[in-house]
Amino acid sequence: MATASASLPRDHDWWRTAVVYQIYPRSFADSDGDGIGDLAGLTSRVGYLRRLGVDAVWLSPFYPSALADGGYDIDDHRAVDPRLGSLADFDAMTAALHEAGLRVIVDIVPNHSSNRHRWFLEALAAAKGSPARQRYIFRDGRGPDQSEPPNDWKGAFGGSAWEAVGDGQFYLHLFAPEQPDWNWDNPEVRADHLETLHFWADRGVDGFRVDVAVALAKDLSEPLLSAAELAWRPAGPDHPLYDRDELDEIYAQWRTVFNQYDPPRSAVGEAWLSDHDRLARYARPDSLGQVFDFDLLRADFDARAYRDRIAPALARAAHLGSSLTWVLSNHDVVRHASRFGLPPLGPEADNSKSEARDAAWLKSGGQEPAEDTGLGLRRARAAVGCLLALPGSVCLYQGEELGLREVVDMPAEARQDPIFFRSDGVGRDGCRVPLPWQADGPSLGFGPGPAHLPQPDWFADFAVTVEEADPESTLSFYRLALAVRRHLLRQLPRPGDPMGLEWLRAPVGALHFRRPGGWHCLVNFTAPPFPLPAGEVLTASGPLPDDKLPEATTVWLRS
Ligand code: NOJ
C-alpha cells in the first residue's frame, strides 16, 4: 500500500492548516493544443504552484466524461479522460507535486455517475426490477401510459429530476439528466466506491474532496413528497434527499479506508447546509473530518458579517476538536473579485440570498456597479488576507491569486454549463475561463491553441508574467502572504494551539485579532482610514498611506 512520498513531511494533521489550491483541470494549462487543459499541462506548472506557496492542490474531476456538467458526470471513476492524459500522466503529475512538497486531493463524486457509465448502460438494457436497475433509482411513471414522471421534483439545474427510459420507468437525477443518482442502499454501489477510494489512495493521493456529500442517502418510500412539501422540509434526518443519518455509516466506512493509510488520507465534504450542528456531523473525526465553511463565501464584505460567522465557527470547532476550511470562491460561484463589487445585502440579510443576487447580476449583463472598478479587487485581497490569518485551512480557487473577475461577456454559443441550457440562469462558465499565463499568444499561454472557453481581452492584464513583474500585483501579494503564513505557522508550538485567536478592539467597520506567536491581523472593511497600531508590518493587501489602514485593506503585524 502506498505511503506518502519521501519528500513530504510525515504529518498526520497537515490538512488542518493547509492552503489548498483548487484546480479546474480543463482550464488550467493545456499541453497539446486541443484547447482543453490536461494533466501534462498541470505538471508543467508545478513550479508556479510551488512558488505561489500553497500546500496542496485539489483537482476537480479529470475522469472520462461527456462534460454534460463540467466533468462532474463521470463515465469511469478509476480512469483519466483521454483528452486530459492517462494514468501514467496522473502518476507523473502526483510525483512532481509531491517532489515539490505539495499534496494531492482528488474529487470524489458519489451521488451520481454519468449516463455513459457501464453500469448505467447495463441498467438501461436490463428489465424493470432487475439487479442492474437496483444500482440506480428507477421508478414507474404515473398516468395511464406511465408517461408522467413519478413526481414533480426539479433537478438542481432546472427541468424534471426524472428522466423517462421508454419502458414506463424513469430514473432520478438530482442534477442534469446525464447524471443518474446512485442507489446507496445497494451494497454493490457502496463497495464500488470503496474500491475507487483505494484506487486513488494507492496511487498516492493524499486526500479527497467529496461532492454533494449530503445527498447520497435517500428515503424514497412511497408516497413521495411533492416538490412543495420537500422545499419546506429542512435538510436533516427527515428529509428524503439531504443530510440523512444513514450517511454516518457510509462515511464511517470511508474513514476506515482513509485510516488504513499512513498518513491517513484526508477528506473534505461539500455540504451546503445552514444547520451548523448537522454540518458538524461530517467534520467529526470518525466521518470525513472536514467540511468547507461556506459562510464567508456567502457573506457581504462587512466587519460584522465576518465576525458573526467566524466567532461561532471557531467556538464550534474548538468544542468538537475539528478544524475549519475557509473558502471565498470555487468553480460554482461568481468570482469574489466581482461579488465584492456588488451592492451588499446588509448585515441582517439571509445568507442564502447572495447566490440569487449574484445570479441576477450575471443575467443583467454583469456591469460592475461602482465607477471605481478596483473596489471589488481591493476587497477581494483584503478578504483573503483575513482568511489566511484565521485558524484552519484555506481553499483558494485558481485565478483568484491573479485577481481575476467573473467573465460575463461570453457569447451563448461558447457557453457549456447545463445551468445555461436548462434554466434561465447564465451559469458558471464565467469563473471557469482558462488562466492567462502570459499577455499574448493564441490563448494567453494557456496552451498552443485557442482555449475551450474564450478569454476576454482584459485577461492579458492579469497574466502571470505581467503580475510576476509587478511587486504590487495580486499575485505578489498572495505569494508574500502565503510565505509569511507558512513562516508564522511553523513558529506555533507543536502540537500547540493552531485554532487560537483572540479578538482585539477595532474601530466600527474593522476587525482586529491576535494569533498565537505574537502576530495580529487588522482588516478595515468599511471604516475611514485609521492609524496602524505599533508593530512591524508583515504584509498588507494594499498600500498603507500615511501609516494608516485605508478601507478595504488588511494588514498583518508583529508586535
Ligand atoms: C457540486 C459541484 O461542485 C458542481 O460543479 C456540480 O455541478 C455538482 N456538485 C454536481 O456534481
CB of 332 shorter than 6 A to ligand 1: yes
State the Cα–Cα distance between residues 253 and 251, nearest whole angstrom: 5
Which residue ranges form the domains of the chain, and what is each CATH number? 14-111+187-482 (3.20.20.80), 118-172 (3.90.400.10), 501-558 (2.60.40.1180)
State the Cα–Cα distance between residues 250 and 267, nearest whole angstrom: 13
Residue closest by Cα to atom 3 of ligand 1: 332
Task: Provide the grid cell at 40.
Answer: 501534462
Residue closest by Cα to atom 11 of ligand 1: 72
CA distances for 25 relative to 30, 40, 109, 434, angstroms: 9, 10, 16, 9
State the Cα–Cα distance between residues 200 and 110, nearest whole angstrom: 14
- Concatenated DSSP letters for 193-227? HHHHHHHHHHTT--EEEETTTTSS----PSSPPPH
CB of 358 shorter than 6 A to ligand 1: no
pLDDT at 3: 45
pLDDT at 9: 81
pLDDT at 505: 96
State the Cα–Cα distance between residues 488 and 486, nearest whole angstrom: 6
Ligand 1 atom, smallest distance to 175 CA: 10
CB of 175 shorter than 6 A to ligand 1: yes
Residues 44-73 pLDDT 10s: 999 999 999 999 999 999 999 999 999 999
Residues 299-316 pLDDT 10s: 999 999 999 999 999 998
pLDDT at 83: 98
Helices (H) and strands (E) in the chain, counts: 15, 18
Task: Provide the grid cell at 435.
Answer: 488562466
Contacts of residue 172, Cβ cutoff 8 Å, sequence gap at least 6: 136, 137, 139, 153, 161, 162, 180, 181, 220
For residue 515, which phi and psi values (nearest 5 degrees)?
-110, 155
pLDDT at 1: 45
**In this predicted structure, which of 126-140, 202-216, 239-253, 479-493 has the lowest mean pLDDT?**
479-493
Active site residues per annotation: 211, 270
Pairs from 492-496 (Cβ < 8 Å, separation ≥ 24): 492/516, 492/517, 495/13
For residue 108, which phi and psi values (nearest 5 degrees)?
-110, 130
pLDDT at 367: 72
> pTM for the complete prediction?
0.96
Contacts of residue 185, Cβ cutoff 8 Å, sequence gap at least 6: none
Residues in the chain: 559
